[in-house]
Structure 1
């Protein structure tokens, strides 16, 4: 690193984070922020020079210097989103992604400082992260809902519901319907509920998963039900077709004629065919064994 009279700039890609001890393996977020805040800023002329080196020569060292010199901007912006309950480090990480996107697309000939241009990209990445992770169920999907999401929290006074006057005022300011403001406030006010069972041994407590799940829609059960229904229709008909006329009629009269299982008795069929009840039982047993084999092959 060479020291200018007023603004030091990294000149060698071998220098690690402006030789200020910023190694990328800092132990905690406080150490990271402390290191970032010690990184020197760039003058407008230095910024333009580095941006041109990147755009014209794809100079990665120039890109590194542009990114490092603006990391403190990401930290500052991330601090404003801590109210959403998400980790500060994660917000900074997402913001750094936005910063790198901004550096890649920055045009020094537009006459705009990188700090102003990068703010849009940094905030965009943080917004996307917050919307995806603040709730399991997304609270904002459309552009209008996103605008509402990030403005509603700053307009609410405490945890109390907004008054009709506040709702009308915010709706007018953001140019949305008052019903949309009310709906977004309800989404923000709803708390997340754990689906899993409680960790204690209190039998009086039930988690939502206990009554939300339905085994009827479980994929394995659905496949089993479909296979069973097929066996009851096509499979049964295939198995019966393997029997001779007498055996088939005995099985049908004994087991398939009535749904309640009150079929013909062995003695009734024995009387009809003029044989003993034991003979009917033997015919039935042989028929059922044959059908079992047919059903196994069908399955």
Structure 2
């Protein structure tokens, strides 16, 4: 997104700043109910692109007004308008005038939905709201707070009651909104900050190349040793150990193997114990 907005499909020209865009958008007249109905019918019945263009252009001022209400999140007004315009176009495409609702009322939902999605994706590097309850909190908590101070327990309970959410969810969202983004590797101009930057304590030693190679070699030796130990067993003992200990998806029970070999479950257990002891000795050698 950029600060410049391009006016197309009937707008006089491309404009290079937000004020010019707003002034141009306001020059498009509002539609009467009859005009709106006729255009919407042409769009639905004849797939008339020009009718869709007129419906969109006549409601650009609505998007501007709605987007202005979200300036408190620190995102560019032009970007908010741009996203709102996408919602407006989606609303025009789905608008059915036969339901007796004006486009201005129908489009508000779609415009706000697109702006909400944009804010949630761009307000912070880390998403602050993913569930429906969190989204509701995100867009209402700021206006419900009486001051910039931390909420008191009584205020938390009151907001939770008003929004129909849990008190702990209010506290969690306040903490998220009060946080700030932190550079992974700290500030290049401050050596002290770099010592405590996340990169200093988020490193995974297990990913260090020598550690990876050692782990692979250990796994290889363990695997080779296991195969050698199994090779030292007789066929029946090897079958019992493999079925009981090496089949992770469907390990056999003592009774399963007893039925297979025609002996008692206790006899299978004895063979298993003896085989494991032998393997332990071979692996230790």
TM-score (norm 1): 0.66
Cross-structure match for 1:197: 186
SS in 2 for 1:213: coil
Contact 2:206 2:212 in 1 (8 A): no
Cross-structure match for 1:247: none
In the aligned structure 2, how far is the partner of 1:44 from the partner of 1:54? Answer: 15
Structure 2: give runs of 5+ residues left out of the alignment.
Answer: 1-7, 226-285
1:254-269 matches, within 5 Å, as none
Contact 1:54 1:62 in 2 (8 A): yes
Note the C-alpha offset of 1:147.
0.8
Cross-structure match for 2:198: 208
Cross-structure match for 2:230: none
User: Aligned residue pairs: how many?
Assistant: 218
Cross-structure match for 2:173: 184
In the aligned structure 1, how far is the partner of 2:172 from the partner of 2:184? Answer: 24
In the aligned structure 2, how far is the partner of 1:57 from the partner of 1:221? Answer: 68
SS in 1 for 2:191: coil
Note the C-alpha offset of 1:74.
0.7
Contact 1:99 1:118 in 2 (8 A): yes
Name the larger-Rg structure.
1
In the aligned structure 2, how far is the partner of 1:42 from the partner of 1:222? Answer: 70
Contact 1:131 1:138 in 2 (8 A): yes
Structure 1 position 36 matched with structure 2 position 25: yes
Structure 1: give runs of 5+ residues left out of the alignment.
Answer: 1-15, 237-299
Q: CA RMSD in A?
A: 2.5
Cross-structure match for 2:39: 50
Note the C-alpha offset of 1:215.
4.5
1:105-184 matches, within 5 Å, as 105-184=94-173
Contact 1:37 1:72 in 2 (8 A): yes
In the aligned structure 2, how far is the partner of 1:28 from the partner of 1:224? Answer: 57
In the aligned structure 1, how far is the partner of 2:211 from the partner of 2:119? Answer: 37
In the aligned structure 2, how far is the partner of 1:164 from the partner of 1:54? Answer: 53
Say if 1:93 and 1:222 are closer, same or farther in 2 by CA, change over 3 A.
farther
One of 60, 64, 75 as aligned partner of 1:75: 64
